[in-house]
Amino acid sequence: MTQKKKIKQLLALVTIVLGFMLPTAAQAAVG
């Protein structure tokens, strides 16, 4: 596996985790 592909996968994972956590954090702050 190339380094670039690894970085791309890591970025995708981070994006998914952030996209999942941010609404939860926002709900916790509002609620």
Instruction: Note the pLDDT of residue 1.
Output: 66
pTM of the model as a whole: 0.61
Buried b (16+ CB within 10 A) or exposed e, 1-31: eeeeeeeeeeeeeeeeeeeeeeeeeeeeeee
Alpha-carbon gap, residue 27 to 31, rounded angstroms = 6
Residue position matching structure tokens 């890591």 = 10
pLDDT in tens, 1-31: 689 999 999 999 999 999 999 999 889 999 8
